[in-house]
Amino acid sequence: MLKPKAPETPAQQAAARLHEAHRRRERFAPLPPGLAPRSAKDAYAIQDAFVALRAAKLGPLAGYKIALSSPEMRRFVGVDTPQAGVILRSQVRRTPARVDAADYVRLIVEFEVGVEIGEDLPVADAPFARERIMQAVGAVMPAIEIADDRDADYSQLSSHPYELIADNSWNEGAVLGEPVREWQSLDLGQILGVAAINGRRVGQGHGEAALGHPFEAVAWVANHLASLGRSLLRGEIVITGSLITSKPVKSGDRVEFSLAGLGKVHLAVD
């Protein structure tokens, strides 16, 4: 005799609602009362369930992103800490890459330092400082984050600051440049990143925009995972927060991001 199906948890119900909203290409909006997260803990439980639903189609976990790495963005959204999201394997692309604008409600891109983890950072060793992260870095590279804000009303984000976590921080993957394994001579805090769309410069920033240093952002992710009983593992990727404000892009756009000493990454939007 079959056992009756266990009732869904509130987090699973919220995740199913989010998953359906994405399928129906609905505009980003708060979850209904009763399902909306009231704390970061609630939001990450929803994120876990939502990512599990997406993983059935998009493949297993490949890495993580950090959102709201600057104080200005945290104030704007109404939170006092960064937020994390998960990157799934089929959404990791190598430069040069192409995406179809029609696959997104409103496609946006961000410009980041990507880090490939070279050795496990087990939860038992937490907390992690930048110096420990440096020992564990296998490679660094320029990265373009692909995200879909689903035409969100940014002025309303501070009214429901945990919804962004629940929606996996809007991540839809990343385009990674060639991994650079001899990065040790570079000052990653001062490294200059330059973004261009259709050949026109749209912004520049330095590595210190990522929590003061890209490896501080990786440490934050590793410690966040440890707080959930998880480890950051060898081979996983962390994109460390945009050095430049996010930019909406449309069909026909050509995006380029360069990091001094680390090369360039290219994305074509069809």
Phi, psi of 7 (to 5 degrees): -65, 145
Q: Provide Rg for the chain, Cα atoms.
A: 18
Q: pTM for this structure?
A: 0.94
CB 91 within 8 A of CB 172: yes
Cα separation of 223 and 133, whole Å? Answer: 11
Cα separation of 145 and 110, whole Å? Answer: 5
All structural domains of the chain, each given as residue ranges with its CATH number in brackets, are: 62-269 (3.90.850.10)
Q: Is the pLDDT of residue 142 over 60?
A: yes
pLDDT computed for residue 78 by the predictor? 73
pLDDT computed for residue 91 by the predictor? 96
Instruction: Give burial (CB, 10 Å; 0-12/13-18/19+) of 16.
Output: middle
Q: Is the pLDDT of residue 245 over 70?
A: yes
Percentage of the chain lying above the pLDDT 70 cut: 97
pLDDT computed for residue 5 by the predictor? 55
Question: pLDDT band at residue 1, thresholds of 50, 70 and 90?
Answer: very low
**Average pLDDT of span 201-227:** 96
pLDDT computed for residue 227 by the predictor? 95
pLDDT tens for each residue of 50-86: 999 999 999 999 999 999 887 767 776 777 789 999 9
Token pair 């990507």 is found at 114
pLDDT computed for residue 7 by the predictor? 52
pLDDT computed for residue 126 by the predictor? 96
Token pair 């937020």 is found at 83
